[in-house]
A = this chain, B = another copy of it.
Amino acid sequence: MEFIIIYITTSGTVEARNIASELVSRGLVACVNMYPIRSVFMWEGEVNEDDEVVLFAKTTRNNFEPVRELVRSTHSYELPAIVSWDIEGDPEFLEWIRTSVSH
């Protein structure tokens, strides 16, 4: 079985909490770590900054698509960052991830 971290940007603490709780309570991810950050990006030709909260969600690879769909359907942004990468780790913790997700 393959395990991943899904990295999701949100507009702030309230949205981060809502999405994280939804993902966890539906069993799409095992747990979420929320990080307060400051983002830098181009907007209408100018460098812009904004406060955001990033979610690191630990789950199995087959859950990426359902997570993507849920986030896109509820997010305040038209196109939030939803990226992922493969992880390895302590076998017991990975087993906990596997048994924590519903699919």
Interface residues of A (CB under 8 A from B): 3, 5, 7, 9, 17, 20-21, 24-25, 30-35, 37-42, 47, 49, 52, 54, 56, 58, 64, 68, 72, 79-90, 92-94, 96, 100
Docked pose: A42 CA to B21 CA in angstroms: 9
Chain multiplicity (copies)? 3
Chain A's interface: helix, strand, loop or mixed, by majority? strand
CB distance from A45 to the nearest CB of B (A): 10
Docked pose: A42 CA to B39 CA in angstroms: 29
Question: Are B58 and A81 in contact, with the CB atoms below 8 A?
Answer: yes
Docked pose: A76 CA to B84 CA in angstroms: 29
The residue that A31 contacts in the complex, of B21, B39, B94, with Cβ under 8 A, is B39
